[in-house]
Amino acid sequence: MIETCAAEYGRIDALVNNACIVRDRSILKMSAREFDEVISVGLRGVFLCTREAARAMQDTGGHIVQIVSASGFSGFYGQANYAAAKEGIMGILRTAVLELEKFNIRCNAFWPVAQTDMTQVIFDHARSRAKDGGIQPADMGFGTPEEVAEGILWLLSEDAAHLNGQCLSFNGRRISLWRHPAEAEIKFYEQAASFAEISTYMQTAAPQPIYAPSMVQQPT
């Protein structure tokens, strides 16, 4: 694919790693095959396409955009495989930033919140639970593919040339720039800490919540 693109157009300016599949099932019922199939497309595929595109971009620079998902950050019932792939993409992204910046290759993540065949099950489930059944994707914070595509087009443009190693979410109406994971509680010991010392400190350290974003709510 990469060779064909380079041969046809002379160079590759951008790659959007969008392909993935789902094999939804709870962890207790998920087979190893169902896990591996999703990882093969959604994570191994991202690695292979990123590697080959980066090789083609070494002399000309370029931009690689990784498509991520809420499942990778806050989880989703029945999607341990999909969540693992999407969270793993962020590891590839952060490593690629370190390794590819010297070639003028930017790497960013884009989290689309869009109405697609893959997200249709969410709408069907919501309508089955709604009293009137008239709930629409927009009511749940999902934009149309055409609306959400505007965010990807912007990220690929020169207007976004200052961004590298960043993660943006967009649903057509709400755009967010996400913070890199950071330490919330820190304790330093001059000597190696014992079990009891660790236990004493951690009794006062507040467990951090798993943030489940809403694409409907207005920012406060």
Q: pLDDT per residue over 168-209, tens digit each?
A: 999 999 999 999 888 988 999 999 999 999 999 999 998 988
Among 36-45, 138-147, 155-164, 186-195, the least confident range: 138-147
Q: Torsion angle of alpha carbons 172, 20, 78, 213, nearest 10°? A: -30
**What residues act catalytically?**
82
Per-residue model confidence as pLDDT tens digits over 148-160: 999 999 999 999 9
Per-residue model confidence as pLDDT tens digits over 58-76: 999 999 999 999 999 989 8
The structural domains of the chain, with segments of one domain joined by +, span 2-202
Q: Strands across the sheet with 62-67, in order?
A: 14-17, 62-67, 105-112, 167-170, 175-177
**CATH class of residue range 2-202:** alpha beta
| CA atoms of 65 and 216, how far apart (whole Å) | 25
